Each structure stands twice: as structure tokens, then as C-alpha cells.
Amino acid sequence: MAIKNELSILTKAEQLDLYSPPLLSLEQQRLYFTPNEIELTELKSIRLRNHRCYFIALLGYFKSKPVILSPSFNLIFDDMQFISTQVQGGKGIRPFSINKMQRDRIYQRILRLLNYQKWDESLHFAPLYEHLVMVGKAWLEPRYLFDAAAEYLATHRIAIPKYTVLQKLISRVIQQVKKALNNKLRIHVSSELHGFLNTIIDDKDGLSLSQLRAGAKSVMVTELKRLTVYHQLQPYTRQIDNAVKGLALSY
């Protein structure tokens, strides 16, 4: 189901940075594009030299960040020239194209070598969703949940899926956590207290919750109003304490 109002998590620049090939320095090229013995053995089983160079490039990018990419030759021209001349020990390489099936086969090799799984909605959505619901009970902020998702995926060696997949998942998590909190509030907060709190907040001269936390600091009207509201809250003190404990909130 399409997201009607897409949840904003990453900026356009952050999305581009995550889902594009990394810009590597010479030292990083040497680090990420130099295959080990096991990778060399896999490399030798690839017949076409062009495909071997592309395999090394995608393998290095995945080591840099576990995202499945589909870069064109022109986008990674410098890396391909480095791999062809410095790693494969040959001349420069001419532009070529890779179709989806060929790229998928290369990534199958990479995932197997690095002991990673490709994102599978039927297998991975529910466990990650449940994990983020638990995280969201402590801090329900979209970027925090995104970072928690990335950490979970890395721990379980699952490639980071498309941005829209994580948008949908995190949006559902936020809806679920808010729904659960509302249900708990109905249990712990009486209709009288609920109405009183709404009156305070909806009042045109009302005070925010952060303002209410402090006592009056002067004889100004707004400052004295804090004391008035505080006294009005006194009958609900025990109920409020129970609600805080029931929701596992900090004071």
C-alpha cells in the first residue's frame, strides 16, 4: 500500500549519499578493492574480465556500506579504471553495460562471500518491525528509528533495503506506538483529568507542559498562573503518578 503522506526521515542529500556509490580516496580504493584469497578464488570463476572488474567494484562498495547498488559505468568510471589497471594489472577499461540478471548474479556471489542476506519482506519485515516498536517506546523520532533499523540490519547481516521500504516500516511503527500509548492513557487517565489537561493546553493564554514543570519565578500574571494550575492539579497527583508509572515515563 502506497504511503499517502511520506514520512520525512532522510534529506535528499542523505538519501543520495546512502544509495549511491561512495566517493573513495586512493587509500580507500586500495583497501576496499584489494581482494583476499577467498575473494580471489571467487573472482577466477567469473569468465569475462569486464564482469570481474564490476564484481570487485560492487564488492568494495558493499564492504563500505551494505547497500545493493546498480551504478552505471560512467558513475564509477574512476574506480573501474583503478580496478582494471591496479588490481587486475591490465590496461584501462572501456565502457560497458550490465543487465539486471547479470548484476543480480554478481550480488549473489557478494552476499554469499560476506555472509549477508538480501532484504526479504516476507522474512525480515516482521522481526524488524517488532524491534523498532520496542525502540520506539523509548524514543519515537523517525531518524532515531532509522538509525536503529540500520544497526539491527547490520547486526543480523541483512542488506539495507530501499528507502521507501524503511519509510513504510517506520511509519507503521510510529502509528502502532502512538496507538498503544493512547490506549494506555485511556486506562490510566480519567475523563475528568483528560478534559482538564485539554483545557489548560487549549486556553489561549495557556501554558505549555514545559512551562508548567517550573514554579512561579515572579509576580507576573503568567508566572502566577503556574501556581494556580499547580493547585488545580493537586487532586489528580496520584492519578498522574500512576499514569507516569504505567507508561514507563521518566519524571
Note whether 91 and 133 are same-domain residues.
Answer: no
In a domain, 38, yes or no: yes
Distance CA 185, CA 1 (A): 30
Question: Residue 43 and residue 56: Cα distance in Å, rounded?
Answer: 8
Q: What is the 3-state secondary structure (H, E, C) of 183-229?
A: HHHHHHCCHHHHHHHHHHHHCCCCCCHHHHCCCCCCCCHHHHHHHHH
Question: Distance between CA atoms of 108 and 175, rounded to whole angstroms?
Answer: 35
Q: Look at 168-177, 209-218, 240-249 and tell me which has the smallest mean pLDDT.
A: 209-218
Cβ atoms < 10 Å from Cβ of 143: 13
**207 and 183 in a common domain:** no
Average pLDDT, the chain: 84
- Residues 169 and 214 occupy one common structural domain: no
- pLDDT score at 83: 97
Percent with pLDDT over 70 in the chain:
74
Grid cell at residue 209: 507542559
Answer whether residue 4 is part of any domain. no
- In-domain check, residue 16: no
Q: Which pLDDT band, with edges at 50, 70 and 90, does 186 fall under?
A: confident
Q: 81 and 126: one domain?
A: no
Q: 3-class DSSP state for residue 68?
A: coil
Per the domain annotation, does 10 fall within a domain? no
For 149-169, how does the pLDDT look when each residue is reduced to its tens digit (9 = 90+)? Answer: 999 999 999 999 999 999 999
pTM above 0.85, yes or no: no
Residue 160 pairs in a beta bridge with 67
pLDDT for 89-140, tens place per residue?
Answer: 989 999 999 999 999 999 999 999 999 999 999 999 999 999 999 999 889 9
Q: Of 114, 130, 149, which residue sits at a domain end?
A: 114
Select the more confidently predicted residue: 187 or 79: 79
Per the domain annotation, does 15 fall within a domain? no
- Tell me the pLDDT tens digit for each residue of 3-44: 445 789 999 999 999 999 999 999 999 999 999 999 999 999
Let me know whether 150 and 105 are in one domain: no
Statement to judge: residues 45 and 64 lie in one domain: yes
Residues 97 and 26 reside in one and the same domain: yes
Which of these ranges, 14-18, 112-116, 143-147, 188-192, has the smallest mean pLDDT?
188-192
Number of domains making up the chain:
3
* Burial zone of 245 (CB within 10 Å; 0-12 exposed, 13-18 middle, 19+ buried): exposed
Q: By residue range, what is the domain housing residue 222?
A: 189-246
Asked if the structure places residue 230 within a domain, the reply is yes
Evaluate whether residue 7 is within a structural domain.
Answer: no
For residue 183, the model assigns a pLDDT of 79
Last residue of a domain, one of 151, 168, 187: 187
Nearest-CA neighbor of 153 among 227, 67, 61?
67
pLDDT band at residue 65 using 50, 70 and 90 as cut-offs? very high
